Amino acid sequence: MRFVLALVLLACSGVLQAVPPNIVLILADDMGYGDLGCYGHPRAKTPHIDRLAKEGVRFTQHYSNGTECSPTRTALLTGRYPQWAGGLECAIGTGNVGRYDDAIELAARRQLGLPAKQVVLPGALKKVGYACGVFGKWHLGYEPRFNPIEHGWDEFFGYLGGNVHYFNHRETSDLHVLFRGRLPVHSEGYMTHLITDHSLAFIERHKARPFFLFVSHESPHFPFQGPKDAAKKITKENWMTPDADTYVAMLEDLDTEVGRVLAALKEQNLDRNTLVIFVSDNGGFAPAAHMGPLRGAKSSTLEGGIRVPLIMRWPGKLPAGKTSKQVCATFDLTRSILNLAKAKVPADRTDGTDIIAHIADNSPDTPRTLFWRGKRGERTWAAVREGNLKYVRKTEGQTEAWLYDVSKDLGEKNDLLTKQPNDAARLKALLAKWEKDVRPVR
């Protein structure tokens, strides 16, 4: 009896470990750095996401690990640079098309996608008792072997490719890619709303146990269709043609859907023990997205292609209303989630650091060295950031390079390549060594 009483007293005093937190990761698609009210959008009203920032931490120097969708998603699920995976340095093309040499070769062998053996999320979380669901965009392989269920997810509803018509849920080729689990399905409704509907149902089903919910939105990726645009004629010719009003409508609708998720957590009395992460998979699509002060866009390693919004809220554990300048990247989220859940993954299986612990411990910001490379056709963008200096390289027929101090020159207008040749040479050598070391492990 004394032992039981001691346990009760310890529990009441908070000495015993608390219930493992739920984790909700909301991923926007092609959202530009300035596409939210709290990041300075001049028109879009995003009160729910802005409130998330007021109640949590807003990051101003967060980077996607890829210049496009598939590589960043690869980094998120593996916790590593996407180059380790092979064939995933740019988005997989519609209908499982490879878009550069390695990817083309893998597609010919029907092996273009993320190998399940490289994935640490969600498998490591399931081993420590988490229910794991992904709803929305997948874009990590069309073949059955690359279905999310084969990667360890308990539940999946969404589409296998990179983008679909928001109302009929088909790709430009009229390819049916909407699945529930391993099986193709048909559904009625606007894609952004359907993703939320399935996410809320997942919360309801698993509210009594820890869960990892990956809300993988299509918005604001093309085709540009707002929730009231069911009658809008979308063809292959205008699939990627933006207009400003529609884009704002998509952003505001996405904000409303984030609000639905936050409301569901509160209604179920789960919000205080749930870490919510909102982030984008890469920079915005030009000219639709608002990049704020940044130059460049999706597919490039200029800041506009890789610097993206990141907001995290965990009441009582992370500070409210904080703006962090800590440099971080997608795979840091992976390492953070694994540590938070006390999931066991060998250190050499992840390249990131624990950004959540960094904020929770109020640690001083530290310099980072990060690398990028994105290939598409004959074009390759690459970059390395070391401290405040960033070396950018573009190869397309010929090679061009630039050096910027992004702490003073956020818009990357002042090229320091000839003014600081020693720095340029050092960063160039760092990038070359990284490219030599990071090889596919298939």
Residue with the two structure tokens 């789960």? 270
Rg (CA), the chain: 21
List Cβ neighbours of 441 (8 Å cut-off, separation of 6 or more): 84, 85, 86, 118
CA atoms within 13 A on the CB side of 254: 32
Distance of alpha carbon 225 from the chain centroid: 22
Distance of alpha carbon 363 from the chain centroid: 24
Query: Token digits for 241?
Result: 């043609």
Give CA–CA dist 350/338, Å, rounded: 10
Give CA–CA dist 72/330, Å, rounded: 7
SS3 category, 28: strand
- 349 close to 80: Cβ distance less than 8 angstroms: yes
Q: How many CB atoms lie within 10 A of CB 324?
A: 20
CA atoms within 13 A on the CB side of 148: 29
For the chain, give the longest Cα–Cα distance.
78
Give CA–CA dist 122/10, Å, rounded: 32
Closest C-alpha to 299, from 70, 39, 62, 27: 70
Q: How many CB atoms lie within 10 A of CB 39?
A: 23
- Annotated active-site residue 90? The verdict is no
Give CA–CA dist 369/427, Å, rounded: 10
Q: How many residues does the chain have?
A: 442
Q: What Å distances lie between residue 322 and 27, 258, 401, CA to CA?
A: 21, 20, 35
Q: Which residue is catalytic, options 41, 48, 62, 69?
A: 69
Angle at Cα 153 formed by Cα 226 and Cα 277, nearest 5°? 55
Q: What Å distances lie between residue 178 and 18, 167, 182, 214, 378, CA to CA?
A: 38, 12, 10, 17, 31
Q: Which residue is catalytic, options 41, 62, 139, 206?
A: 139
Q: Which positions are catalytic?
A: 69, 139
